[in-house]
Amino acid sequence: MDIQLNFINRSNDANNSSIVIFQKNVATDFDELAIAWKVIRNCGQGDNHPFKFPMTMTVSASDSYGNYMPQQNATNGQVFQVVRSTSGDVLTLATEPGNSSEVQVRNDLASGAANATIYKDGSPLATKTSIAPGQKAVFQFKPTLWIGVASQIEQGALLNSAVISDINTELSLLGIASADIVLTGGGPGPRSLPFTFRLERVVMA
Name which of 12-16, 124-128, 154-158, 168-172 the model is least confident about: 12-16
- Residue 144, beta-bridge partner list: 172
The mean pLDDT of 161-189, rounded to a whole number, is 93
Per-residue pLDDT of 78-94, as tens digits, reads 999 999 999 999 999 99
Whole-number average pLDDT of the chain? 95
Distance CA 167, CA 147 (A): 6
CA angle at residue 51 from 166 to 154, to 5 degrees? 45
Give the integer Cα–Cα distance in Å for 95 and 63.
Answer: 21
Residue 31 is predicted with a pLDDT of: 62
Q: What's residue 85's pLDDT?
A: 97
> What pLDDT shows up at residue 30?
58
Q: What per-residue confidence (pLDDT) applies to 161?
A: 86
For the stretch 11-25, pLDDT in tens is 999 889 999 999 999
Over residues 113-131, the pLDDT tens digits come to 999 999 999 999 999 999 9
pLDDT at 192: 87
